[in-house]
């Protein structure tokens, strides 16, 4: 009720006029012509006119009422004498706008405008309903009803801005180009309105500005504009212009228009639509149109459609048509069909060119047929075709998998590229060379190619970093990373650069530095990708860093990376290795799609912890899906049976693996079976199984048998196998320790001493066992007998351990046999 300058209810009156200020410009623009907002449909123009007119009327009506609030000034009440319709109309937008957004996605603008408008509308409704509460909360400065007026004005303003985004000014160059096109045709006709505005039409690629009014009813000027857009790599604008042509007249596009539209097609749906239009116009049989339809389907990976179009083409197929068909098969990873098309091409008399050979090489490379790639590359040169940079890059990608001749073949192709002059002119060839030499471990050659490159991009730098990391040269990779950071700009390190080094450190066992580098990457505000996350989770698994692994799990959930199979498999492995099998199973059960690695990781977790029943049940569930088990699967299940002493199940699984799945047992399978039989006391059966092995037993197999001999105290069996152990791996520390412990447990001290002397004379040394402690987001390792780690509270821990040791000595709980066993184990 406050007055200002004689105006009663000043704020309620004044806040009504922003509705007027927001509504009048929109009303004027609507009256000036629908082209101002890029509106072509009459009903749409009428709707926006009524919207702005309603805002203007509401401004005057609200101000009129608040000057002297009484029932006589409630115009709606006096006209209809019923407020229910008013309530419906005021509440309808709360339902209508969200429904429109869901049923009719915005075609002309961004949905953010609609969301902002909806938000302000709901806020206005809330402030109007809580008028008195809002007024009291802000200590009677402004009422909720006044704020309601302002929010309504914001809704109108936001929608006006939204409409203005539908209209983009045409640059002056387009006007001059249009005039030149019209003059070139000598056209005397002029459009009824000069195209001063542009509007957005929905296309498959998004919203793009095109002319609101057609420049001419002839196809030639349109085709020239289409070609100009394609020349500037603006296929989106070309498609929008093509759609405008169809809207003007379906028969306006001609045999020159359709190939241009097909070149701009970025999705199979758009290509199919243009194809259907060609069929409607009867132009699909023309060579140029059919060729571009074929090329579009080929580019978009629709091999079946491409083959259908190719077969329907009239006689006289060109090399371009054959190349498009072979490329379609290449994109569809069908090398056999590509080769069949290639042979048919030669039989038809068409001469393959460099593009043909490149498509054929790519078809085999995509299917990992590296030997065929190199053989075809040689055939290409013998046929007289020199190839191009693309074919060379494909051949280089296959060189690391050529066996003993890999380096020789790679250098031969490199020399061929130098002769043809395609090394320095094509950056992707340089990247392929660095990658090839890096995969072969020839880092000097990779560094030389990198150094000699006249141009380098981020891919070049990342390729060199990845090569160093894969070769275990992580310090060199870090040096290259530091150089990238110094250069900055367009070659700044990205997540691929960091992930490569983190993976290299983790693979080489330097998990501490891998974790430290991961923290450095986060400090540079780089978000990890799925590869980074999976790598760092594997490092946590190796260090048994459960707390850090859980933190990374939470980070992956926030970044929405936890639903990727690579990350999920790493989480299963991490939780299982850290002893949280239930956590691993929870991740496993939550996976939408499980691959072989998922099943093997979960089975390995069960097997490691001796949960035989769970492992067998999961293996049974695996048989009900389409995933075929492999050797790792049976190693995990056999390991579970070994820990639980389930001999019948283990033998049945071993036979099932060989007979049903045709998997030849490896050293790991025999180790599990020997351990299974030995733990159950079937030492004779274990020895006979070793004798039937098709390969020479390694330390793990003998160790499993000797450990069983130690458990069951069978000195005769142990003595019979010790000679074989020393003969097979005389320089192994593990078997010497095992034999020493076995002699000590059997009381054969002279023999144990002899083995210890042999071990020292051979210069063998046992690596001390280590323990880890996780504190302050760091993992610290320490060994028995070493100095206490420099951690807070470490002295208290060691003091308590000393007290417990003293109590054990007082109570004589440490027997002489225990001390003897410990001495025999640690004397080395």
What is the DSSP code string of 238-291? HHHHHHHHHHH-TT---TTHHHHHHHH--SHHHHHHHHHHHHHHT-TTSHHHHH
Residue 646 lies in a domain: no
Element (H, E) at 369: none
pLDDT tens digits along 571-611: 999 999 998 999 999 999 999 989 999 999 999 999 888 89
229 and 123 belong to one structural domain: no
Among 314, 341, 360, which residue terminates a domain? 314
> Is 249 found in the same domain as 143?
no
Q: Which residue, of 288, 314, 340, is where some domain finishes?
A: 314
CB 424 within 8 A of CB 453: yes
Q: What is the pLDDT of residue 214?
A: 45
Terminal Cα distance for the chain, rounded = 96
Based on the domain organization, do 253 and 156 belong to the same domain? Answer: no
211 lies in the same domain as 142: no
Q: How confident is the model at residue 336 (pLDDT cuts 50, 70, 90)?
A: very high
Same structural domain, 142 and 274: no
Q: At which residue do the structure tokens 């060839």 appear?
A: 429
For residues 298 and 329, the answer to whether their CB atoms sit within 8 Å is no
Average pLDDT (534-543) is: 88
Residue 192, classed as helix, strand or coil, is coil
Structural domain includes residue 674: yes
Exposed/middle/buried for residue 6 (C-beta within 10 Å: 0-12, 13-18, 19+): exposed
Q: In which band, very low, low, confident or very high, does the pLDDT at 122 lie, cut at 50, 70 and 90?
A: confident
Q: Are residues 281 and 152 in the same domain?
A: no
Are 140 and 255 part of one and the same domain?
no
229 and 139 in one domain? no
Instruction: Evaluate whether 194 touches 160 at the Cβ level (below 8 Å).
Output: no
Specify if 651 maps to a domain. Answer: no
For residue 615, is pLDDT > 80? yes
Q: Is residue 277 part of a domain?
A: yes
pLDDT at 57: 78
pLDDT(191) > 50: no
Q: Quick check: 165 and 159 in contact, CB under 8 A? A: no
Residue 143 lies in a domain: yes
The Cα 509–Cα 534 span in angstroms is 15
Q: Answer whether residue 698 shows pLDDT above 70.
A: yes
**Could you give phi then psi for residue 353, rounded to 5 degrees?**
-115, -170
- Has residue 348 been placed in a domain? no
Whether 234 and 149 share a structural domain: no
Return d(Cα 362, Cα 329) in angstroms, integer: 10
Same domain, 113 and 218: no
Residue that is last in its domain, among 259, 294, 314: 314
Q: Is residue 408 part of a domain?
A: no
CA distances from 827 to 741, 752, 760, 767 (A): 11, 11, 11, 12
Structure confidence by residue, pLDDT tens digits, 805-825: 676 666 554 444 443 333 333
Q: How far apart are CA 504 and CA 466, in angstroms?
A: 8
DSSP string, 473-535: -HHHHHHHHHHHHHH-GGG---HHHHHHHHHHHHHTT-HHHHHHHHHHHHHTTPPP-HHHHHH
- Domain of 219, CATH number, reads 1.25.40
Residue 542 has pLDDT above 90, yes or no: no
Residue percentage of the chain with pLDDT more than 90 = 20
Could you tell me if 796 and 695 lie in one domain? Answer: yes
Instruction: Report the alpha-carbon distance of residue 730 to residue 726 in Å, rounded.
Output: 5
- Is the pTM above the cut of 0.75? no
Residue 736 or 184, more confident = 736
Looking at the structure of the chain, the number of domains it has is 3
Determine what percent of the chain is predicted with pLDDT higher than 70.
Answer: 71
Please choose, from the candidates 714, 712, 710, 713, the residue with its C-alpha nearest in 3D space to the C-alpha of residue 737: 710
CB atoms within 10 A of CB 528: 23
Q: Which domain holds residue 278?
A: 196-314
Q: What is the pLDDT of residue 752?
A: 72
Residue 352 and residue 319 in contact, taking contact as beta carbons nearer than 8 Å: yes
Asked whether residue 212 is domain-assigned, the answer is yes
Say yes or no: 230 and 82 in one domain.
no
Mean pLDDT of 170-180: 42
């Amino acid at each position: 009720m406050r007055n200002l300058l004689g105006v009663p209810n000043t704020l309620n009156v004044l806040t009504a006029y922003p509705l007027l200020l927001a509504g009048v410009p929109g009303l004027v623009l609507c009256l000036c012509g629908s082209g101002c907002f890029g509106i072509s449909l009459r009903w749409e123009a009428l709707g926006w006119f009524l919207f702005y007119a309603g805002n203007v009327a509401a401004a005057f009506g609200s101000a009129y009422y608040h000057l002297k609030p009484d029932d006589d000034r409630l115009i709606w009440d006096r006209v209809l004498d019923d407020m229910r319709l008013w309530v419906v109309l005021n509440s309808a937008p709360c339902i209508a706008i969200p429904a429109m957004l869901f049923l009719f996605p915005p075609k002309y603008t961004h949905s953010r405008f609609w969301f902002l408008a909806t938000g302000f509308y709901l806020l206005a409704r809330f402030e109007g309903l809580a008028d008195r509460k809002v007024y009291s909360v802000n200590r009677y400065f402004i009422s909720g009803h006044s704020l309601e007026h302002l929010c309504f004005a914001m809704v109108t303003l936001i929608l006006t801005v939204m409409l203005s985004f539908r209209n983009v000014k045409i640059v002056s160059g387009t006007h001059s180009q249009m005039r030149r096109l019209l003059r070139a045709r000598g056209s005397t006709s002029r459009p009824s309105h000069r195209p001063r505005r542009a509007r957005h039409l929905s296309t498959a690629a998004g919203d793009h500005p095109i002319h609101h009014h057609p420049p001419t009813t002839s196809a030639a000027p349109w085709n020239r504009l289409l070609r100009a857009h394609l020349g500037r790599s603006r296929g989106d604008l070309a498609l929008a212009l093509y759609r405008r042509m169809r809207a003007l007249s379906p028969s306006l596009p001609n045999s020159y228009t359709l190939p241009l539209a097909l070149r701009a097609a970025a999705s199979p749906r758009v290509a199919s639509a243009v194809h259907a239009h060609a069929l409607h116009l009867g132009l699909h049989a023309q060579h140029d149109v059919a060729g571009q339809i074929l090329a579009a389907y080929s580019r978009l990976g629709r091999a079946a459609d491409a083959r259908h179009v190719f077969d329907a083409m009239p006689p006289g197929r060109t090399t371009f048509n054959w190349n498009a068909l072979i490329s379609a098969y290449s994109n569809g990873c069908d090398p056999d069909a590509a080769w069949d098309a290639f042979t048919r091409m030669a039989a038809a008399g068409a001469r393959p060119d460099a593009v043909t050979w490149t498509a054929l090489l790519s078809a085999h490379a995509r299917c990992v047929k590296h030997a065929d790639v190199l053989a075809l590359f040689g055939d290409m040169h013998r046929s007289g075709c020199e190839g191009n940079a693309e074919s060379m890059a494909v051949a280089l990608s296959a060189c690391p998998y050529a066996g003993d001749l890999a380096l020789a073949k790679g250098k031969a192709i490199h020399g061929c590229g130098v002769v043809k002059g395609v090394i320095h002119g094509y950056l992707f060839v340089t990247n392929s060379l660095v990658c090839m030499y890096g995969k072969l471990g020839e880092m000097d050659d990779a560094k030389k190619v990198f150094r000699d490159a006249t141009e380098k991009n981020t891919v070049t730098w990342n390729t060199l970093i990845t090569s160093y990391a894969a070769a275990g040269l992580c310090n060199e990779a870090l040096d290259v990373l530091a150089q990238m950071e110094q250069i900055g700009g367009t070659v700044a390190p990205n997540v691929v650069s960091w992930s490569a080094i983190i993976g290299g450190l983790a693979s080489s066992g330097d998990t501490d530095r891998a974790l430290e580098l991961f923290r450095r990457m986060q400090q540079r505000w780089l978000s990890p990708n799925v590869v980074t996350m999976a790598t760092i989770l594997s490092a946590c698994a190796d260090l048994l860093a459960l707390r850090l692994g859980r933190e990374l799990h939470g980070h992956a959930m926030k970044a929405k990376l936890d639903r990727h199979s690579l990350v999920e498999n790493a989480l299963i492995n991490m939780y299982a290795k850290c002893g949280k099998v239930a956590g691993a199973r929870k991740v496993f059960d939550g996976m939408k799609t499980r691959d072989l690695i998922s099943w093997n990781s979960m089975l390995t977790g069960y097997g490691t912890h001796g949960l035989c029943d769970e492992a067998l049940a999961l293996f049974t569930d695996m048989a009900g899906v389409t995933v075929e088990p492999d050797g790792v699967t049976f190693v995990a299940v056999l390991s579970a049976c070994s820990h639980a002493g389930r001999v019948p199940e283990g033998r049945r699984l071993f036979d099932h693996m060989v007979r049903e799945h045709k998997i030849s047992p490896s050293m790991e399978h025999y180790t599990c079976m020997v351990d299974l039989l030995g733990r159950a006391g079937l030492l004779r059966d274990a020895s006979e199984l070793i004798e039937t092995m098709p390969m020479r037993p390694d330390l793990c197999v003998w160790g499993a048998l000797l450990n069983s001999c130690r458990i069951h105290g069978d000195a005769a069996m142990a003595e019979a196998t010790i000679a074989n152990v020393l003969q097979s791996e005389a320089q192994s520390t593990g078997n010497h320790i095992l034999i020493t412990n076995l002699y000590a447990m059997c009381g054969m001290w002279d023999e144990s001493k002899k083995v210890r002397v042999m071990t020292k004379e051979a210069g063998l040394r046992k690596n001390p066992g280590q323990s880890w402690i996780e504190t302050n987001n760091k993992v610290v390792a320490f060994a028995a007998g070493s100095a206490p780690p420099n951690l807070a509270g470490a002295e208290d821990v060691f003091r308590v351990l000393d007290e417990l040791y003293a109590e054990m000595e007082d109570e004589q709980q440490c027997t002489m046999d225990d001390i003897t066993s410990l001495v025999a184990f640690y004397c080395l």
